[in-house]
Amino acid sequence: MIIVQDKLVSDDVVEENFICNLSACKGACCWEGDFGAPLEENEMETLEAIYEDVKPFLSPAGIAAIEANGKHAWYDGMGHGTMLIDGGPCAFLTFDGNGVAWCGIEKAWHAGATDFKKPISCHLYPIRIMPYDAIGTEAINYDRWDICSEACKLGDKEKVPVYKFLKEALIRKYGEEFYEELDGAAEFMKAQKSI
C-alpha cells in the first residue's frame, strides 16, 4: 500500500494495467451489476439541478424510470447510486450507433448543455473509493470485474497502469498535486523492483 496525502492507495492501482476496450465490452459496466453508479452527497443535488438539461439526451426508458422513481436510489450494501431501469441498466445509459454504451450525462456535457461531466465514481472506474471515517481518510482500490478482462489485456499490451489511464479522473477528484505525488511514488516503486 502507498500513502499519498493521507489517502491509502492499493498497490494494484500502480502495478496493474488497464485501458477500457469499448469495442470489446461495449461499456457493459453501465448495465451489469446490481447497483446504480455510486453517488457522492453533492452529486445527488447536482443530478436534481441538471436533470432538465440532460433529459433531451436520455432514452425514453431512462426518462420513464427517473420520472417514476427518481434520479437516484439507496442500495443496501453500497449506498446512494443512480436510478436503474427495472433493476437493470443505469437510467442515464444511452447507446451510440455501434451499440456502445454512452452516459447520457456525458453526452449532454459534450454538447455544452451542462458542466457536470458524469458521476466521479463512473469517471474513476475501475478505481473505487472506500471511506475510512474512523480515521478520517479514504482507501483508493482497484476493483476487478470480469467484464473488464479485455481492458486488462489492452492495458498490458500498451503498458498503461490503472492510475495513468485514470489521470484526468484522479486530478478531478484529488487535484494535480496528489496525482504528481502518486506518479512519483509509482516510479519509485518501479525503480526499486528493477534493482
Closest Cα to residue 105, out of 48, 156, 161, 47?
Answer: 47
Binding of ligand SF4 by 73 (CB under 6 A): no
Cβ-based nearer residue to ligand SF4, 126 or 181: 126
CB of 27 to ligand SF4, least distance (A): 5
User: Counting contacts by CB under 6 A, is residue 174 touching ligand SF4?
Assistant: no
How many chain residues are in contact with ligand SF4, going by CB under 6 A?
Answer: 12
β-pairing, 137-142 vs 7-9, is parallel
Contacts of 104 (CB under 8 A, 6+ apart): 54, 57, 58, 59, 62, 92, 93, 94
Asked if residue 161 binds ligand SF4 (CB under 6 A), the reply is no
Whether 178 and 185 have beta carbons less than 8 Å apart is answered as no
27 touching ligand SF4, by CB under 6 A: yes
Contact criterion met (CB below 8 Å) for 144 and 155: no
Residue 22 binds to ligand SF4 (criterion: CB under 6 A): yes
Binding site for ligand SF4 (CB under 6 A): 20-22, 25, 27-29, 125-126, 147-148, 151
